[in-house]
Amino acid sequence: MTPNKLLSFLLCLISLFIFSCVKENSPRIASTLEGVDYDGNTLLEVTFKDESRMYFKLNDNATAEVVRGSIFYTDSPEWSVWVYRGDIIIPEEIKHNGKTYKVTSIGDHAFYPKYSFNATSTSLISSVTLPSTIDTIHENAFLSCEYLSSINNLQSVKFIGANAFNGCWNLRSITIPNTVAEIYPGTFHACAFDTLELPNTIIAIDDYAFGYCSNLTNFDIPASVQFFGMFVLDGCKNLKTITCHPPIPPRMVTQEYGVGDYIILSISDLNIEKVYVPTESVNLYKESPDWRYYKDIIVGF
């Protein structure tokens, strides 16, 4: 074998090895079962080679959304609700009846652990790996998944809905992609973040977004932020400093208690020692009706 042919052969082997590794990172489908939801939408129960299951709503535009199993109905006597558990790997596509569906979203309450609001079932999810095809995580998608400790491959996500990760008590870190423009109400309420870095594409941080993230000691507000909602950091008992990068003070929601007594409800004032703002903007912040409650601890950086 000539050197050139040997090199080509080796490159071919390497390519096959890489391809097989990539394929092994995706769950392999063993079987599917078609059903419907409350509204008559077509759902698909997918059973993987490891005997785990996942549920999808099939859309007319050849896309699919991960949904919760409790809305799945079928006449099959073998059907029973699967409880999501362990390390979840969401496939980038599924095939059904000769058609390929690209998985693009995670539905409302998709991984919520309770199948009824009176139930006491516990989430058994420990990690989630997303495919690059996912661009939407709907509201409540991972609500109360208290054992979820990591969520991977968020790079393609453009929208994360309200309360999507609310109550994920063991989620200590997350990489919010620069494709996200708004943090909706309660999105990361009661998470266990030690540190947090928001991308400089965030325009608004809504009510209760990071409330009771008790491990945070500093909170950085990106320069892009224009709006700050109520109780964003309420209950963050270890919060010592806020670093606010916008040169113009973000507009905040305030509430009047008594005559002339304005409290900024969007920031917990329990233990805050300093609010750092751009040096050239110190007076703007101190004179702002939204930030004046903190005028004595506002300093420049």
Give the C-alpha separation, 270 to 236, whole Å: 8
CA 108 centroid distance within chain: 12
Q: What is the pLDDT, as a whole number, of residue 290?
A: 81
Q: What is the pLDDT, as a whole number, of residue 27?
A: 64
- Is 164 in contact with 137 (CB distance < 8 Å)? yes
Q: What is the pLDDT, as a whole number, of residue 263?
A: 44
Q: What is the pLDDT, as a whole number, of residue 22?
A: 37
Q: What is the pLDDT, as a whole number, of residue 270?
A: 62
Q: What is the pLDDT, as a whole number, of residue 70?
A: 80
SS (H, E, C) the chain: CCHHHHHHHHHHHHHHHHHHHHHHCCCCEEEEEEEECCCCCEEEEEEECCCCEEEEEECCCCEEEEECHHHCECCCCCCCCCCCEEEEECCCEEEECCEEEEEEEECCCCCCCCCCCCCCCCCEEEEEECCCCCCEECCCCCCCCCCCCEEECCCCCCEECCCCCCCCCCCCCCCCCCCCCEECCCCCCCCCCCCCCCCCCCCEECCCCCCCCCCCCEEEECCCCCEECCCCCCCCCCCCEEEECCCCCCEECEEECCCCCEEECCCCCCCCCEEEECHHHHHHHHHCCCCHHHCCCEEEC
**pTM (2 d.p.):** 0.84
Structural domains for the chain: 25-240 (3.80.10.10)
Q: What is the pLDDT, as a whole number, of residue 24?
A: 41
Q: β-strands 182-183, 218-221: how paired?
A: unpaired
Give the C-alpha separation, 138 to 161, whole Å: 5
pLDDT in tens, 9-36: 445 544 444 444 433 445 688 889 898 8
Low-confidence ranges of the chain (pLDDT < 50): 9-10, 13-25, 116-119, 256-263
